[in-house]
Amino acid sequence: MSTTPRSTEAQTAPSAVSFAEAFRFWLKLGFISFGGPAGQIAIMHTELVERRRWISEQRFLHALNYCMLLPGPEAQQLAVYIGWLMHRTWGGIVAGALFVLPSLFILIALSWIYLRFGDVPLVAGLFYGLKPAVTALVLHAAHRIGTRALKNRWMWGIAAASFVAIFAFDTPFPAIVLAAALVGHFGAKRWPSVFALGGGHGIAKQDYGPALIDDHTPTPAHARFSRSHLAKVLAVGLGLWLLAMALLVAFNGLQGTLTLMSWFFTKAALLTFGGAYAVLPYVYQGAVETHQWLSGPQMIDGLALGETTPGPLIMVVAFVGFVGGWLKEVLGPDALFAGGAVAATVVTFFTFLPSFVFILAGGPLVEATHGKLGFTAPLSAITAAVVGVILNLAMFFMYHVLWPQSFGGRFDAVSAAIALAAAVALFRFKVDVMPLLGACAVAGLVASQLFP
């Protein structure tokens, strides 16, 4: 980005933004937030820092760095943070909810189409091309995170160890996260420079003129730390979780599908350091292998749908919930769509509730600790471990796509060609996700007609 001379209008800070105006912006953002976290953060930067000047560059990056320290989708948390900073608690709730809800409704509709018409040749052909594209996307994610996280031999070693642990020994993802955090915590005491936190999403610092929330704007009263506020938010968050869980247990029982989903995705929400690609292996282990809510190929299809819809990529969990609710007939065999929709909604609630609590309760508290090595070093080690975990996920996808009938079956050369072409487009030509998926879907449709 180049800095252009500021106009006279840009010399004056914008006037106060009404709640209604902010509401309209967050609603619009919910429908245009494509491109994964980097793309979503770039959209918010363009709209909020450059065009509208609701928040300054420095304050935006400060909020972003805080969100990157937390488990959960950093782009959605950044929206909650800025909404909260501008319009208190309800501003944060509205910003975060509107970031997610359009994606939830779209994914419920697409999941129904997938289950209802997935065997139709047209739909099957499109997914035939999307699966190898998703394989290339996951491999590209490992590379993208790796270039930021693997800054020295220690980090490379942590990544390699995590790959071996999950690939060769099937170590649970939470155990890998815990081990990496301990390495970072104790390693930083001996070698502090090794575990210094790398930053950001490559947004260059520029001067776009005075902002409504500028570099030296005093922290609003509601954003200052208060023990009573912290206790209140934690109590409300925990109360909502307990109320929802109690209702599910009363309706579904302790071992019911909806209850198990709510507990599983609560744990997933607390382990999503490094973004959606980092938690996908954990979701795969639980949803596919342990609970069998859906199959491995269905998981790949769900990730393809998640890539093509707005909102956080972690919204793929809504697909997992819908398919699991449908196949497990959580509301009975005569209400398959309703069961899937309820399961998708339950999963979304339990996945995103912690994100709101982290921002609304922890914002004033954790901001004060940002930049302190004792707090950031474990995250650096976890991020390095995530690279190895994502690489394992890419190999899992590759295995299912290239050998659909397992290693004893035939090698799918057409899928291999599509995956290779997608990888070249991503690594060499930096093609955006949406055009890439569109081209691969068309290629899959053509290939399925030529080579049935």
Give me the helices (H) in 45-73, please.
57-68
Q: CA dist 266 to 235, 247, 330, 354, 355, Å?
A: 17, 16, 19, 8, 11
pTM of the model: 0.74
Output the six-digit token pair for 91. 């501003």
What would the pLDDT profile of 14-58 be if each residue is shown by its tens digit? 888 999 999 999 998 888 776 567 668 878 888 898 889 999 887
What would the pLDDT profile of 316-336 be if each residue is shown by its tens digit? 999 999 999 999 999 999 999
Output the six-digit token pair for 230. 């912290």
Strand partners, 55: 213
CB 256 within 8 A of CB 330: yes
What would the pLDDT profile of 128-153 be if each residue is shown by its tens digit? 898 898 888 888 878 877 887 788 99
Instruction: Supply the angle between the helices 36-44 and 19-32 in degrees, to the nearest 10.
Output: 150
Angle at 42 between CA 137 and CA 82, to 5 degrees: 120
Output the six-digit token pair for 138. 């996951």
Strand partners, 213: 55
pLDDT band at 314 (very low <50, low <70, confident <90, very high): confident
For tokens 């800070």, the residue is 13
Q: CA dist 228 to 21, 48, 223, 383, Å?
A: 30, 31, 13, 33
**What are the respective helix, strand and coil percentages of the chain, to the nearest 5?**
75, 0, 25
